[in-house]
Structure 1
Amino acid sequence: MYFHGEWLGKGTIIGQKYVCGYCGTETSSSGGYNFQQRNEKFGFYEQVAFILICTSCNFPTFLTEDYTLQVPQPKMVANVENLPPPLAILLNETRKAISAELYNSTVLLCRKMLMNLAVLEGADKNKSFVYYVDYLERHDFITAKMKPWVDRIRQIGNTATHEIPDISKEDAYMSFEFLIMLLKLVYEFPHKMQPK
């Protein structure tokens, strides 16, 4: 996306609500910079973008008038309690990837997390992805109703690993959502059910 116009001096900007990509606060900027672009057809200047200053952390965010582009993007919020450290590190990396719209990376990280989950739950190391999925199924981490999800993630992961086309946003989000659900079932919910 390319803009041709001019930045105006810092001023008051009212009504531009957004989620800050730095601190995660839902905010409405009280100040920032306006970017105007000349409409060649009608000869007037129109507002096309802003640099907004977060009222919570004071960091800047670039945002287009139509909200189609925000830099930095808000981070995907998907916390899972009681994760083993290796999975917690990978989950944080996966959240950053999907928040930055790195969909190929997101899917590959989801595959890596499934493999790590299987190993942490007793599977042998240095095996194929299919081996790890089969292990999770045989040991009832993946139910029969979850099987279509896993098969779809396997296909998406194979595309990301071995083929030229890029992964779509929808496929990346589906892989990520499934992974979050599985991690919650394996680690968070059993922990919450333990007597205090």
Structure 2
Amino acid sequence: MTQEAAGTRPETKTAKRQVPRGLKFAVELGPLILFFAINAKWGIFTATATLMLVVPISLGVAWKLAGRMPVMPMVTAALVIVFGGLTLLLNDEEFIKIKVTILYALFGAALLIALRFNRLLLPIVFDAAIHLDDNGWRKLTWRWSFFFFFLAGLNEVLRHALSTDQWVSFKVFGIVALTFVFVLTQAPLMLRHEIKPEDDTSETHF
């Protein structure tokens, strides 16, 4: 007797799909580029409203492409909605600026708190793009955490020191450039602790 005849349906699971990196970057960076362009033409408040509309859309596209909801973009989208809403409601651009500080401080703290309880979040964030032993993940977790705290502190300094247009340029291009450089500097560590798929006999604790 088939499952349909028995009155039950076969279980279905949402499959994880591998998204091409170029498309992934386009989905993640697209809202930022649009934020920069709208700010240049119509100002920070219109750019903030646009970002609030586009970020949930990009999150939906990411979910559709990958077959799951990515954690970090979800947190980012939530903060964009909250602090973007405060920016527009109170007509104060400082809220959308401080969102960046809070976002990176949260990421840094989450990594360290999880590590304190012997949980590794980076393997989830990297989504199996790299395979490291536990020692490598722990070292990388410390480094990423400090880098996030560095970005949070840098944003606090620059949001007071720069004009709004200059700050938007830093947010869109400066943070991306700094992150790219940071990732390159971590390559030696990742190579030292890389696990080849055929040699992977270790267990990673999540």
Q: TM-score, normalised by structure 1?
A: 0.31
Q: TM-score, normalised by structure 2?
A: 0.30
Q: Larger helix proportion, structure 1 or 2?
A: 2
Tell which has more relative contact order, 1 or 2 (C-alpha 8 A, sep 6+): 2
Q: Larger strand proportion, structure 1 or 2?
A: 1
Larger Rg: 1
